[in-house]
Amino acid sequence: MSATENNTRLTRDKEAGMIAGVCAGIAARYGLVRVVAVLLTVVSLGAGGLIIYVAAWILIPAAGAAESPSMGDRRREFTGEVATAADRATEAAKIAAGTQQP
């Protein structure tokens, strides 16, 4: 990914970055030259920039990383798992009660 490429999502660019790709990702997202993003980070180090950089490293996903599923997808998956577990528990209860053969 180059610095002139304008992404719709903010991601870390590990290939173009020096440490974690945070500055390279910010530069690519907002159309800056990477050096400008690095200088802004270095200048802000006195004001907690290091903490912000580490937080961005943790929170901003890496470029090319698989997108996490939406909350709706997670809910549907969980609901299906719960339904399957409930069906199995019902069958186990019937077997334990002797009303159904295994």
Q: What is the pLDDT of residues 81-92, one digit of tens each?
A: 888 888 888 888
Is the overall model pTM greater than 0.85, yes or no? Answer: no
Q: How many Cα neighbours within 13 Å face the side chain of 8?
A: 0
Instruction: Specify which of 13-17, 48-52, 87-91 reaches the highest per-range mean pLDDT.
Output: 87-91
Q: Compute the distance between CA of residue 60 and CA of residue 20 in angstroms, rounded to an integer.
A: 10
What single letter denotes the amino acid at residue 89? A
What single letter denotes the amino acid at residue 25? G
How many domains in the chain?
2
Contact between 14 and 20 (Cβ < 8 Å): yes
Does 86 lie in the same domain as 37? no
pLDDT tops 50 at residue 1:
no
Does 14 lie in the same domain as 55? yes
Domain coverage including residue 54: 1-67
